[in-house]
Amino acid sequence: MGKKTLDADPFFGTTFIDNDKSINKLHVGTFQDVQPLLERNKIYRNDEDRTKAGIKNGWFHVASFPPAAIAMIEKQYGLKPGGFLTLKDDKLLNRIINDRDLSGFKTTTKRV
């Protein structure tokens, strides 16, 4: 059968199924092009005036995570699906946001 697209969504990414006959396994996965978001985050991260204005006005945009990254984070940190979006543990949330491996999703150079 080979790799076949099951669903393509610009927000959630592309879900595929792949039948690997050599080892008799069926794989289902999702991938998402996050490059545009990473490029936007880099622009925001390098704009100190944006960060200062946000802090001054009482808000502080620190990161943007696409759905594919959220799913990966939930799996990596043992959270239930949707758990990242409802996380009440500030220490864990800050640890995730400040994780060097996820630095491309930060919109500021500040630590939270």
State the residue range of the domain holding 16. 2-31
26 vs 42, higher pLDDT: 42
Asked whether residue 111 is assigned to any structural domain, the reply reads no
Same domain, 69 and 44: yes
Same domain, 18 and 50: no
Tokens 């946001």, residue located:
97
Asked whether residue 15 is assigned to any structural domain, the reply reads yes
Overall domain count for the chain:
2
How far from chain centre, in Å, is Cα 4?
A: 24
Neighbour tally for 56: CB within 10 Å: 9
Same domain, 100 and 72: yes
CA angle 7, 104, 100 (to 5 degrees): 120
Residue 13 pLDDT: 80
Closest to 60 in 3D by CA, of 94, 101, 103, 88: 94
* pLDDT band at residue 95 using 50, 70 and 90 as cut-offs: very high
Burial bucket for residue 45 (CB in 10 Å: 0-12, 13-18, 19+): buried
Q: How far apart are CA 69 and CA 57, in angstroms?
A: 29
Same domain, 41 and 79: yes
Task: For residues 79-107, give the mean pLDDT.
Answer: 93
Tokens 């959270």, residue located:
79
Same domain, 75 and 93: yes
Task: For residues 1-29, give the mean pLDDT.
Answer: 82
Same domain, 75 and 100: yes
For 39-90, write each residue's pLDDT tens digit: 999 999 999 888 878 777 778 889 999 988 998 999 999 999 889 989 899 9
Asked whether residue 61 is assigned to any structural domain, the reply reads yes
Assess whether pLDDT exceeds 70 at residue 1.
no
Task: For residues 29-36, give the mean pLDDT.
Answer: 87
Asked whether residue 110 is assigned to any structural domain, the reply reads no
Q: Report percent pLDDT > 90 for the chain.
A: 45
Signed CA dihedral, 96, 82, 15, 39: sign only? negative
Same domain, 97 and 47: yes
